[in-house]
Amino acid sequence: MQGIAFGPTIRLLRQAKGISLREMARQLGVSPAFLSQIEAGRQHKIPKARIVQVAEMLGVSAGYLLGTAKQVHPDLIKFLSTTPEAAEFMVTAMRSGMSGEDFNRLRESLSDKKSWSAILKGNMSTAARKNGDGHSLDSYLDANLCLAGVGVQNKERLFHRFVKALSKKHKNLSADTLLERLDNREKQSPTSVGGGVAIPHAFVADLDRPAIGAFILKRAIKYGPTDEDRVKTVFFLVGKEGEPNQHLPVLARIARLCSTPEFLEVLGKSKTGRDMYKTIVSWDKRISV
């Protein structure tokens, strides 16, 4: 028994990856009808090897896929089926390493569709009344953490570069703890979201509010398990431990920006960190209208 949300979780990630049900069934060596039964939650006897194969296709670890499915509450599945924007956000959250437990807590605090729409459309006023916060990205984005032309050879050096920069701004921040948290998220599932973009993030206890940084790399680096999974634009998000209600809406805004090709094109032409900062802030306001 993989958990009541196992099938719907597969469907959400499959659709996010742009894989048709028929194509996925073909790659798995099963019939579309059998895969459809799994996604509908009517088929639970799935061999472990098949689960591993599904997870690899969807770009997450088998452990993360199963763990999230076990944590998500049945009421959330019903909510997702009637709230497309919430389902879209769950995909973003999962691909960025958020757990089902974190998403359940956000679901509890945002109990109506208007609150979800406010988050995803960038109008945070409704969400603010629910969460006690309601700021655009410029409230969290640090111009000193926006760097253009960053030369790093791999993900490990990329994370060290960011953590070093953030530690200079927050003296009480444990660099070792943050590196460990970032690495743990990546082990759950790579935080690349397509289009040469990654949104690595983690929670730590040493920050009062989320902190955002953005790097444009000099050369794209391998980020995921395959050579094709390379990134050149990286948004870092570090949130306060135990406060996903504040963290997740910020993640949604970043993800929404990064799904806008025109924004990525303009951002990619930035020569300095200051240029990046201005572009991010202006586009965040533009798509939030």
Architecture of domain 137-287: 3-Layer(aba) Sandwich (3.40)
Residues of the chain with CATH 3.40.930.10: 137-287
Q: Is the pLDDT of residue 85 over 60?
A: no
Assign 236 to helix, strand or coil: strand
Partners of 239 in the β-ladder: 203
Q: Are 190 and 226 in contact (CB under 8 A)?
A: no
Neighbours of 50 (CB within 10 A): 14
Q: Please, which pLDDT band fits residue 123 given cuts at 50, 70 and 90? A: very low
Task: Give the pLDDT of residue 240.
Answer: 85
Q: Please, which pLDDT band fits residue 135 given cuts at 50, 70 and 90? A: low
Architecture of domain 1-71: Orthogonal Bundle (1.10)
Task: Give the pLDDT of residue 209.
Answer: 83
**DSSP H stretches of helix in the chain:** 6-16, 21-28, 32-39, 48-58, 62-71, 74-82, 84-95, 100-109, 113-121, 125-131, 155-169, 175-188, 244-258, 261-268, 273-287
Residues of the chain with CATH 1.10.260.40: 1-71
